[in-house]
């Protein structure tokens, strides 16, 4: 019995000594490595350069604010400029915080912080204010001027203004634009006017759904805007009559419109600056944000620049298209019916696009014409 008992006691003693040694090794803080200081909250092996001025502050923070990892992340920002090692297929996967960039005359310490401040202090407030100003201007104009045009344009002779293909291209582009505009507005401004009403949970689900819809509607908008541009390009080249239209402001403040061709100068401005110019910026930056451009590195800096271009161009596009939507619906009598049914009354064409109506009547433009009486109810509804 003495032999087995002696071996059992020795086994327990050995196990106890090994366990105590391991416990001591896990609870004893490691010594500071040469030339550096272990940062509170840092993973094993991460060090920041020794700084006598901040050592006392960090020690006091570690006691008064346990769990505050600010010194660690400050060390990552200030001294972690060399990328770490990662197996992730990402160009910047080894960089925890975007590389240090000091902007002259600013307090920004990183490019990411600069982007956040530009978004929150410039794009969001000024973009929102611009949208509200445009909406207010449209409301005031409608209040003082009312719908443009006359209600007696019911001759019964109708002219085809838009073909079925043109209307399909327009409505596809318009539908994608509305989805993008609503989802974009909620993502940019929703936390200010929706979050207090819906609460965090519902708002989170709503923004997630709208973001998904935004990402899927984006490519559809990109394709449709190209089709719209090609389809209506031939009728949007500038002409001498457009200069006269611009000088007189299109006659919006008078009782008689300035003669124009199929599209007046105002519509051409929207076409070239809104559809072509801003459309190219919105689509191009959106493809970058969706990572749909092959061969691009998609670094943080690239995405931040693309986001700022996308946001600014989208706000300007919405402001321009608000005027277009207004004149195409309640702002001009009979305009919505033109895009809905494809036909307009001959009197409507002479009033709003006199030069185009003359070309159609002379046979210079192969537009379909009808001299049959309008359908039942058209006499009273054509103006709307």
**C-alpha neighbours within 13 Å on the C-beta side of residue 233:** 7
Residue 278's CB is within 10 A of a number of other CB atoms, namely 23
More reliable by pLDDT, 18 or 252? 252
pLDDT, position 23: 42
With 0-12 CB in 10 A as exposed, 13-18 as middle and 19+ as buried, what is 197? exposed
Asked whether the predicted pLDDT for residue 331 surpasses 70, the reply is yes
Asked whether the predicted pLDDT for residue 63 surpasses 50, the reply is yes
pLDDT, position 56: 63
pLDDT in tens, 222-238: 999 999 999 999 999 99
More reliable by pLDDT, 359 or 58? 359
Predicted structure pTM score = 0.75
Tell me yes or no: is domain 114-381 CATH 3.20.20.70. no
* Angstrom distance (rounded) from CA 184 to CA 36: 46
* Angstrom distance (rounded) from CA 275 to CA 213: 21
- Ordered by start, the domain boundaries in the chain are 1-30, 32-111, 114-381
């Amino acid at each position: 019995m003495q032999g087995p008992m002696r071996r059992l006691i020795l086994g327990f003693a050995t196990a106890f000594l090994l366990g105590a040694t391991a416990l001591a090794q896990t609870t004893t803080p490691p010594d500071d490595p040469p030339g550096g200081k272990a940062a509170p909250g840092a993973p094993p092996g991460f060090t920041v350069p020794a700084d006598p001025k901040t050592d006392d502050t960090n020690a006091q923070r570690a006691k008064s604010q346990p769990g505050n990892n600010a010194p660690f992340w400050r060390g990552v920002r200030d001294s972690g400029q060399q990328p770490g090692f990662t197996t992730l297929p990402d160009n910047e996967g080894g960089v925890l915080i975007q590389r240090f960039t000091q902007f002259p005359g600013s307090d920004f310490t990183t490019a990411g912080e600069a982007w956040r401040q530009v978004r929150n202090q410039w794009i969001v407030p000024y973009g929102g204010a611009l949208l509200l100003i445009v909406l207010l201007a449209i409301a005031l104009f409608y209040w003082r001027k009312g719908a443009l045009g006359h209600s007696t344009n019911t001759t019964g002779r109708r002219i085809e203004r838009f073909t079925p293909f043109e209307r399909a291209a327009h409505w596809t582009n318009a539908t994608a634009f509305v989805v993008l505009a609503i989802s974009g507005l909620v993502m940019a401004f929703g936390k200010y006017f929706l979050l207090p009403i819906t609460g965090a949970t519902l708002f989170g689900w709503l923004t997630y759904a709208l973001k998904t819809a935004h990402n899927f509607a984006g490519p559809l908008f990109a394709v449709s805007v190209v089709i719209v541009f090609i389809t209506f390009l031939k009728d949007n080249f500038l002409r001498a009559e457009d200069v006269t239209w611009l000088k007189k402001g299109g006659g919006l403040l008078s009782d008689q419109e300035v003669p124009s061709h199929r599209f007046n100068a105002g519509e051409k401005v929207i076409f070239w600056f809104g559809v072509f110019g801003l459309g190219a910026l919105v689509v191009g930056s959106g493809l970058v944000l969706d990572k749909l451009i092959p061969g691009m590195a998609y670094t943080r800096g690239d995405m931040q620049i693309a986001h700022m271009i996308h946001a600014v161009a989208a706000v300007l596009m919405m402001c321009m298209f608000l005027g277009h939507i207004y004149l195409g619906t309640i702002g001009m009598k009979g305009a919505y019916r033109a895009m809905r049914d494809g036909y307009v009354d001959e009197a409507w064409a002479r009033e709003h696009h006199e030069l185009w109506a003359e070309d159609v009547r002379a046979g210079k433009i192969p537009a379909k014409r009808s001299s049959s009486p309008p359908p039942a109810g058209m006499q009273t509804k054509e103006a709307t």
